[in-house]
């Protein structure tokens, strides 16, 4: 059993007596050097600092260690070691004894009710995650990785049109050295404490929104792009839900996979793209639109699909007629998973018609027209008609 005890910035004297007793009586004490230094010496107690890199070194450290107490900052389940230990050892082998989290302290200092703001962890993660949350009037608490995070956040706000946003860097929350510094993103300068949270009050351009169907021009592309209306239709049928994983096969500019991840912070995508230039472009689009965790696999289906995590949904925007692609995708879908395939050629249309006749689902032809100039007049300009086949795999 590993008992994870949260410690606030105030140190040993602010730890509840019950938690102090747990720490003193434990034969083994784990933690970062900063936390271990906060605890008075205990004769005979074995003390082990966390390995580096942490995730890779933990199994060897924990192997045969027996019962122990691990020290963590604040609430160990808020971007903390508690989450990692539970994933490695199982919930039944880890007990959490939290202190007040830094997020709770930050809300208290700012006077922000929990329901009025969102917390985004940038600890070991890309600062671009903040971009997904940006909207006029939005309140964001960004958990910083170190003293450089605030400057990176300020730069992101400026480049995304939110330079007028107010930033408050809350340093050393709960300690005697606690500090707060406020300014606008566009004029932000200077160092921040290593331990800090950035509170952002967003002021800027209208948000892009999280509903499916972002404007086509927000995606860098070479023409290989699932257009806005077709993308919205596909995503409505793919039906992203929290924690669900998508394969975006023949991803092009990555627009479907990116919008899938924007639907919820826990949604994930693997984009499969055979063209190296497009694969790099997908990664750039994902970072700019606030979902830097999107995984890009450079290669062609079906070979590139081998070994990938099983998907909850699959979108095939191109290449459905390539031998083995459709069969491999159908076999890979989790029970209850959803498949959406687009086709613009006669060959793909015939394939999808046969699949629909054999397996069922929904077969739709989508035709979109937009206004364009005809000389000095205006008229309707049709896009290519797309056949869309949707299938949900049985739950058993």
CATH value at residue 52: 3.40.1010.10
Judged on CB neighbours under 10 Å (0-12, 13-18, 19+), 20 is middle
**268 and 295 inside one domain:** yes
Per-residue pLDDT of the chain (396 residues; tens, 9 = 90+): 999 999 988 888 889 999 999 999 999 999 999 899 989 999 999 999 999 888 899 999 998 888 999 999 899 998 889 999 999 999 999 999 999 999 999 999 999 999 999 999 999 899 999 999 999 999 999 999 999 999 999 999 999 999 999 999 999 998 889 999 999 999 999 889 999 999 999 999 877 888 899 999 999 999 999 999 999 999 999 999 999 999 999 999 999 999 999 999 999 999 999 999 999 999 999 999 999 999 999 999 999 999 999 999 999 998 999 999 999 999 999 999 999 999 999 999 999 999 999 999 999 999 999 999 999 999 999 999 999 999 999 887
Total domains present in the chain: 3
Residues 6 or more apart whose CB falls under 8 angstroms from that of 216 comprise 225, 227, 228
In a domain, 37, yes or no: yes
**61 and 186 inside one domain:** no
Question: How confident is the model at residue 134, as a pLDDT?
Answer: 95
The full length of the chain comes to 396
**253 and 136 inside one domain:** no
In CATH, what number is assigned to the domain containing residue 170?
A: 3.30.950.10
For 131, phi then psi, to 5°, come to -60, -35
For 105, phi then psi, to 5°, come to -65, -40
How far is residue 390's CA from residue 155's CA, in Å, rounded to a whole number?
42
Q: What is the span of the domain harbouring residue 285?
A: 216-392
In a domain, 274, yes or no: yes
Last residue of a domain, one of 143, 172, 201: 201
In a domain, 322, yes or no: yes
In a domain, 207, yes or no: no
**368 and 293 inside one domain:** yes
**376 and 235 inside one domain:** yes
Last residue of a domain, one of 166, 201, 236: 201
How far is residue 237's CA from residue 363's CA, in Å, rounded to a whole number?
12
How far is residue 59's CA from residue 89's CA, in Å, rounded to a whole number?
9
In a domain, 208, yes or no: no
**322 and 173 inside one domain:** no
**371 and 223 inside one domain:** yes
In a domain, 209, yes or no: no
How far is residue 271's CA from residue 318's CA, in Å, rounded to a whole number?
12
Peptide bond into 302 cis (omega under 30): yes
**43 and 30 inside one domain:** yes
DSSP per-residue letters across 238-271 = H---TT-EEEEET-TT-HHHHHHHHT-TT-EEEE
**332 and 343 inside one domain:** yes
**230 and 355 inside one domain:** yes
How far is residue 44's CA from residue 27's CA, in Å, rounded to a whole number?
8
In a domain, 206, yes or no: no
**145 and 220 inside one domain:** no
In CATH, what number is assigned to the domain containing residue 256?
A: 3.40.50.150
According to DSSP, the β-strands at 166-171 and 196-201 are: antiparallel
Last residue of a domain, one of 51, 80, 100: 100
**274 and 372 inside one domain:** yes
Residues 6 or more apart whose CB falls under 8 angstroms from that of 294 comprise 254, 257, 258, 261, 268, 269, 270, 271, 282, 283, 286
Question: How confident is the model at residue 246, as a pLDDT?
Answer: 98
In a domain, 335, yes or no: yes
């Amino acid at each position: 059993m590993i008992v994870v005890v949260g410690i606030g910035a105030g140190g040993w004297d602010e730890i509840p007596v019950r938690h102090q007793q747990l720490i003193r009586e434990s034969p083994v004490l784990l933690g970062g050097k900063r936390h271990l230094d906060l605890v008075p010496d205990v004769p005979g107690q074995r003390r082990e600092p966390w390995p580096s890199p942490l995730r890779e070194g933990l199994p060897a450290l924990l192997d045969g260690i027996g019962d122990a107490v691990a020290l963590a900052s604040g609430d160990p389940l808020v971007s903390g070691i508690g989450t990692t230990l539970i994933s490695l050892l199982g919930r039944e082998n880890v007990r959490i004894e939290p202190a007040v989290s830094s997020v709770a302290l930050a809300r208290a200092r700012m006077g922000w009710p929990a329901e009025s703001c969102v917390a985004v962890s940038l600890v070991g993660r890309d600062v671009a995650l903040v971009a997904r949350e940006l909207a006029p009037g939005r309140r964001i608490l960004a958990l910083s990785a170190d003293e450089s995070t605030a400057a990176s956040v300020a730069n992101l706000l400026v480049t995304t049109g939110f330079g007028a946003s107010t930033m408050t860097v809350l340093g050393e929350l709960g300690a005697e050295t606690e500090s707060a510094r406020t300014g606008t993103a566009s004029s932000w300068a200077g160092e921040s404490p290593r331990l800090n949270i950035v509170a952002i009050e967003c002021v800027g351009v209208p948000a892009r929104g999280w509903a499916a169907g972002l404007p086509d021009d927000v995606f860098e592309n070479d023409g290989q792009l699932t257009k806005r209306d077709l993308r919205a239709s596909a995503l409505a049928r793919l039906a992203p839900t929290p924690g669900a994983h998508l394969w975006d096969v023949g991803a092009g500019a990555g627009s479907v996979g990116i919008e899938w991840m924007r639907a919820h912070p826990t949604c994930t995508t693997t984009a499969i793209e055979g063209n190296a230039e497009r694969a790099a472009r997908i990664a750039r689009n994902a970072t700019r639109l606030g979902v830097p965790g999107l995984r890009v696999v450079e290669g062609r289906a079906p070979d590139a699909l081998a070994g990938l995590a099983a998907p909850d949904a699959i979108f095939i925007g191109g290449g459905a007629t390539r031998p083995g692609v459709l069969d491999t995708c159908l076999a890979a879908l989790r029970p209850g998973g959803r498949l959406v395939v687009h086709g613009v050629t006669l060959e793909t249309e015939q394939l999808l018609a046969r699949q629909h006749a054999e397996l069922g689902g929904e077969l739709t032809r989508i035709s979109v027209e937009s206004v364009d100039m005809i000389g000095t007049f205006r008229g309707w300009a049709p896009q290519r008609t797309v056949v869309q086949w949707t299938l949900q795999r049985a739950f058993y």
